[in-house]
């Protein structure tokens, strides 16, 4: 890959990975048997965490857009972070359709999964189905996943698949159980279903979250596989001496700049948008001497290509 030093221009910045922690999100957490006893989940649970209550979905949407404005971010993809919370994100997208793109978590093992996927992509006008195989304990090469791909292909959406190590910080803070099975998170299991649906973009966050090699292999075999760059990428601790610069370099060598998408993994307030993640990644691009066009694709253009203008 060709690199040269480049002064960064005022590129459009879009964030492909943010979580929409709605009131419904906290209600689901509060229903867990291990959750602390509270009266009002949407207020008491975030306060117990030291977070701001989300309010109603349009209030949270307004706060997100104000946060994007404060940091100069054009658009963000916001994810319903529990199954069944499509309506919250749909309300946010309806409130700010020019700024927010809707994503929603789906458990394909449920009997109504295909119907939920269809409704999310049509009636709710969301753009991306999010799969968490380690969380919901299913194989990515199962027929249930194939059925979701068929729905997404029909409605020209995208699929986000969390592979590798999965750690949900809010569950840890609340002392809730983690019954995640990382064995279901191997990106190689995606290759056949992704190849069978060449019109469906597949996004693997966190460079595969510990399955970097397998993610790059999947991407090399299947041209629809993308990676997002989000979060601290703490999984690198499993690879002594590995630096984020090395991860970016290898992803760019194998996938090219068209299939690397910037994401922050921002989620709760008052922390808000994680500018430190962005600054760290821009510093990596500086070190690599990434050409301006490649920077613009990673930071903004790939988002627009995947989710629409």
Contact between 35 and 29 under an 8 Å Cβ cutoff? The reply is yes
Answer yes or no: is 241 within a domain. yes
For residues 83-88, give the mean pLDDT. 97
Answer yes or no: is 220 within a domain. yes
For residues 116-120, give the mean pLDDT. 98
Tell me the two tokens of residue 82: 């529990």
Tell me the two tokens of residue 96: 């700010």
Categorise residue 134: left if φ over 0, alpha if ψ from -120 to 50, beta otherwise: alpha
**C-alpha torsion 192→202→60→124, nearest 10:** -70
| Cβ neighbour number for residue 190 with a 10 Å cutoff | 28
pLDDT band at 10 (very low <50, low <70, confident <90, very high): low
Answer yes or no: is 66 within a domain. yes
Q: Which long-range contacts (CB under 8 A, 24 or more apart) does 246-250 make?
A: 247/207, 247/212, 248/281, 248/284, 248/285, 248/288, 249/1, 249/288, 250/212, 250/216
Answer yes or no: is 6 within a domain. no
CATH code of the domain in which 112 resides = 3.20.20.140
Answer yes or no: is pLDDT of 11 > 60. Answer: yes
Counted domains in the chain: 1
pLDDT given for residue 8 in this prediction: 37
Which range of residues forms the domain containing residue 51?
14-307
- Give the integer Cα–Cα distance in Å for 218 and 176: 33
pLDDT given for residue 4 in this prediction: 32
Answer yes or no: is 222 within a domain. yes
- Give the integer Cα–Cα distance in Å for 228 and 160: 10
Answer yes or no: is 33 within a domain. yes
Answer yes or no: is 289 within a domain. yes
Tell me the per-residue pLDDT of 44-75, one tens digit each, with 9 for 90 and over.
999 989 999 999 999 999 999 999 999 999 99
The dihedral through the CA atoms of 120, 125, 129, 130 has a sign that is negative
Answer yes or no: is pLDDT of 212 > 90. Answer: yes
Answer yes or no: is 194 within a domain. yes
Query: What's the chain's average pLDDT?
Result: 94
The dihedral through the CA atoms of 279, 1, 204, 185 has a sign that is negative
Answer yes or no: is pLDDT of 158 > 50. Answer: yes
pLDDT given for residue 170 in this prediction: 84
């Amino acid at each position: 890959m060709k690199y040269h030093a480049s002064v960064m221009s005022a590129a459009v910045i879009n964030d492909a990975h943010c979580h929409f922690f709605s009131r419904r999100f906290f209600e689901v957490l509060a229903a867990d048997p291990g959750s602390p006893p509270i009266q009002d989940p949407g207020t008491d649970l975030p306060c117990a965490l030291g977070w701001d209550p989300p309010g109603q979905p349009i209030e949270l949407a307004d706060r997100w857009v104000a946060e994007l404005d404060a940091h100069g971010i054009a658009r963000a993809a916001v994810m319903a972070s529990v199954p069944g919370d499509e309506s919250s994100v749909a309300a946010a997208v309806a409130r700010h359709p020019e700024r927010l793109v809707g994503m929603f978590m789906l458990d394909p093992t449920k009997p109504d999964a295909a119907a939920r996927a269809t409704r999310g992509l049509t009636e709710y006008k969301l753009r991306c189905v999010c799969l968490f195989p380690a969380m919901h304990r299913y194989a990515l090469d199962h027929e249930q996943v194939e059925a979701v791909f068929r729905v997404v292909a029909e409605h020209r959406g995208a699929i986000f698949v969390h592979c590798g190590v999965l750690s949900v910080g809010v569950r840890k803070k609340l002392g809730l159980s983690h019954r995640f099975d990382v064995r279901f998170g191997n990106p190689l299991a995606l290759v056949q279903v992704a190849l069978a649906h060449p019109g469906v973009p597949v996004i693997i966050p966190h460079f595969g979250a510990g399955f970097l090699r397998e993610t790059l292999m999947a991407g090399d075999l299947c041209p629809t596989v993308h990676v997002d760059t989000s979060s601290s990428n703490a999984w690198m601790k499993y690879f002594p001496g590995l630096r984020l610069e090395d991860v970016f370099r290898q992803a760019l060598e194998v996938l090219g700049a068209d299939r690397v998408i910037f994401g922050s993994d921002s989620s709760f307030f008052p922390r808000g948008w994680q500018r430190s993640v962005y600054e760290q990644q821009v510093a990596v691009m500086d070190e690599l001497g990434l050409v301006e066009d490649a920077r613009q694709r990673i930071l903004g253009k790939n988002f627009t290509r995947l989710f629409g203008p």
